[in-house]
Amino acid sequence: MKAVILICLLIGSPLLLRGQVLLETQQGDIVTFAPNAVTSSLFGVLNANDQSLSVRFLYGLPNPVGVLPKKYFSFGLKAKPTNGIASLISDGKLSAGANISAAFTKIDLFTCGGKYLDFVTINTSYEAFKYDLFKADTLFKSQIYSKRFKGFNLGLSYNLLVKGAHLFVVSMGYSRKNNISSLKLIDITDQTASYDSSGVNRTLSNKLSARKGTYKEFDRYPIRVSYTYVPPDGGVGVKPGWSLYLKRDSSEDKRIMDLGVLLFFTTSKIGSRMPVVGINLQADDFSDVQRRNNGLLNRLSLGLTSVFPIIE
C-alpha cells in the first residue's frame, strides 16, 4: 500500500524524476549514492544481510539557469523484520519494524563547472522496532518482556565526483543505536502440564523467539569515508565497480572502526549502468581495539545487497 502511494506521488509529480542507485553495507547504511539517468525514478533495495526491503524516490526542484534540477528532495521507506524474514509473522503477530527517511541534496556546493562535481546531502530518518527480550537473572514472571526502540538519525554527507569516474564521500552525523544485533536469538517454550483423573497427562506449550542478554540503547556519532570507482555508462555486458569504506558507527565501543569493500556488478539499461547486485566484505573492528584474541579472518563478514528498479 505504501509503495502504491509512492508510485501515485511519482506519477503526479510535475518534474521528470531522476532515479538513483543505492548500495548498502551489511548494516543497511547507504555507502554509495549515485544519481542516475532521467529515465529512472524509483528504486527498491533488497539487503539480504539484514533482510530489509526499501524504496526511495527523488523529487527535483526547477533550475532557473540549467536544464536539470540541482536541488532534490528524496524520501525513503524501509521495512525490516525484527528477527529476520523467517520470523516476520510470529504467533500470528507481525514483527516488522519501519524506517522512514527524508533527504535534501544540492549539486555544486563548492564546484562550479569543470571536471569536478560535488553534491551535499542532509538526511534524517526515524525508525521504530519492537523487540521481545529475555533476561535470566530476574524474577521468573519478569524474564520475558517487550521493548520498543525509537531511533532518530541525522546525517550530512559530502560527495565529490572526480573526472566522471571517482566518487569520494565523507559523511557524519548523529544516530541513536541499540545492541540488539549482538544479543543471541533464542526460542523459549513454556510448557504447562495438567493431569486428568481419567489418566490423561496433557502438556500445553507456548513458543516465543526472544533476544537474550542485557539490552542497551546509546548515542553514536557515525563517521564514514569512502571511495567508489564508478564504471562508465553505456556499452554492453556486465561491468564491475567497487567501493572501499572506513566507518565508525554501529557498535557500543566508540573506538571500533570497520573497514569494508563492496564489489558491485552493473548492467546497461537504456544507456544507464545500474548495479544489480553488490557483495560486501567487511572487517569488523579492523584495528582490533577490543583485543578479544580474535584474528582478522574471524572478524570478516560477508553480505549481499541487490538493487532493482521498480519504475523506469
Interface residues with other proteins (CB under 8 A) are 14-16, 34-39, 62-68, 70, 107-108, 113-117, 119, 161-165, 230, 232-235, 270-273
At residue 86, the 3 state secondary structure works out as: helix
Nearer to other proteins among residue 92 and residue 113 (C-beta): 113
CA atoms within 13 A on the CB side of 270: 8
Beta partners for residue 229, in sequence order: 166, 242
> What is the grid cell recorded at 266?
552493473
Minimum distance from residue 163 beta carbon to other proteins (Å): 5
Output 15 or 246, the one with its CB closest to other proteins: 15
Placement of cell 548498502 in the chain: 24
For residue 212, count CB atoms less than 10 angstroms from its CB and return exposed for 0-12, middle for 13-18, buried for 19 or more.
middle
CB 252 to other proteins: min, Å: 38
Nearer to other proteins, 163 or 292 (CB): 163
CB 119, min distance to other proteins, A: 7
Q: Which is nearer to other proteins, 107 or 183 (CB)?
A: 107
Strand partners, 172: 156, 223
CB of 109 to other proteins, least distance (A): 12
Q: Of 28 and 60, which has the nearer Cβ to other proteins?
A: 60
Our CB check for other proteins shows the closer of 38 and 77 to be 38
Cell of 46: 533488497
Closest approach of Cβ 169 to other proteins, in Å?
15
- H or E element at residue 11: helix 2-11
Q: How many CB atoms lie within 10 A of CB 70?
A: 17
Counting Cα atoms < 13 Å in the Cβ hemisphere of 69 gives 22
Taking the complex as a whole, the smallest distance from the CB of residue 246 to other proteins amounts, in Å, to 24
Give the span between the Cα atoms of 72 and 61, in whole angstroms: 6
Taking residue 193's Cβ as centre, other Cβ atoms within 10 Å add up to 9
What nine digits make up the cell of 133? Answer: 527480550
Least separation in angstroms between CB 170 and other proteins: 18
CB of 28 or CB of 35, closer to other proteins? 35
Please give the grid coordinates belonging to residue 24: 548498502
